[in-house]
Amino acid sequence: MNQMFGHKRNEVASYAAQYSKSFVERWDDLIDWDKRKAGENGFFEKLLKQHGVRSVIDVSTGSGFHAVQLKEAGFDVVATDGSSTMLTKARENFRQRGLQIESHYMDWQSLDPTVLGHFDAVVCLGSSLCHVFEAKARLTVLEKFRALLKPGGLLVVDQRNFFAIRAGNFKSSGNYYYCGKHASVSLGRVDQDLCEFIYSFDNEEQYRLQVYPLLPGELTTQVLESGFSAHESYGDFQRDYDMMDCDFVIHTALASTRKPR
Ligand code: SAH
């Protein structure tokens, strides 16, 4: 199923294969929910409220962190992910917290508004879109996100700051996203085609994620090409930021009322 979003470098495993059961078991140690929540300080909840959002679909829910935060903040939430190990973990997290969150095991290419409905917001967080290597495939994914939105609906996509990473300035402060104290993140291969993150836990287990080093400017252009307007960006949750000195860049845009392409 991932082949459609495949890439030239056949040595890179599909995203679903990269999220192995044992890695996913460690995921919540990596992110440390309490610290991540404190680091975000309600940023996404505020952003969504400012835009009058009530319904939201989290299309890369992973272990369900944002689906849970948003549900607890009172939004109507649907969660999807194309990794069955991740989605199983998310469902476990929903159950543990006594939350009823509709969830679907779904690759982005299968996202279908006739099945899922239309939403006020689509969120794709935790640097997920960089799992798509090819520009054309990424555009198709963004159009799939667009199709899930009501006219004027809000898209929120974040990415690790590959501008700084490609310029040799990776620092991963540990204040946002991946906050766990038993985990550390370092870099393997980095070039214009591929970026490899090495996640080490207690200096024993090691997992590698290989993604496309998607530049903020590249993503901005593609968002605007796929039926969105009013693009804005934030660096580590600040509207005013230094591109060489932030871990994550968050992109927002509105579904245009005109038809894409
Ligand atoms: N949002 C979560 C998870 C981030 S990890 C968090 O912030 O913690 C990236 C997630 O994107 C993984 O769960 C992976 O399965 C999902 N993903 C990547 N490519 C996908 C695709 N083509 N379709 C559906 N999910 C995808």
Rounded distance between C-alpha atoms, residue 245 and residue 44, angstroms = 21
Ligand 1 nearest-atom number relative to CA 86? 13
Under the banding of pLDDT at 50, 70 and 90, the label for residue 171 is confident
Query: Residue 247 domain-assigned?
Result: yes
21 pLDDT higher than 70: yes
Instruction: Say whether 158 sits in a helix, a strand or coil.
Output: strand
Q: Is residue 209 a part of any domain in this protein? A: yes
Residue 155 covered by a domain: yes
Range of the domain at 152: 15-255
State if residue 108 touches ligand 1 by the CB under 6 angstroms criterion: yes
5 lines ligand 1 (CB under 6 A): yes
- Mutate which of 81, 94, 104, 197 for ligand 1? The one with the most ligand atoms within 8 Å of its CB, which is 81
Q: Can you tell me which atom of ligand 1 is nearest the CA of 31?
A: 8
Between 51 and 182, residue with greater pLDDT = 51
User: Is the CA virtual torsion 222, 234, 32, 95 positive or negative?
Assistant: negative
Distance (Å, whole) CA 121 – CA 203: 39
Which stretch of 71-80, 125-134, 249-258 has the lowest confidence by average pLDDT? Answer: 249-258
* For residue 1, pLDDT beyond 60: no
pTM of the model: 0.94
Closest ligand 1 atom to 58 CA: 1
CA 66 / ligand 1 centre spacing (Å)? 12
Mean pLDDT confidence for 16-31 = 89
Among residues 62, 69, 26, the alpha carbon closest in space to that of 206 is found at 26
Q: Is residue 185 part of a domain?
A: yes
| Number of domains forming the structure of the chain | 1
Whether 44 has a pLDDT exceeding 60, the answer reads yes
Our answer on whether the CB atom of 209 is closer than 6 Å to any ligand 1 atom is no
Tell me what pLDDT residue 172 has. 66
Cα–Cα distance list, 32 to 19, 36, 37, 99 (Å): 18, 6, 9, 19
Q: In whole numbers, what is the pLDDT of the chain averaged over residues? A: 91
Averaged over 224-243, what is the pLDDT?
Answer: 97
CATH number of the domain residue 33 falls in: 3.40.50.150
pLDDT at 31 over 70: yes
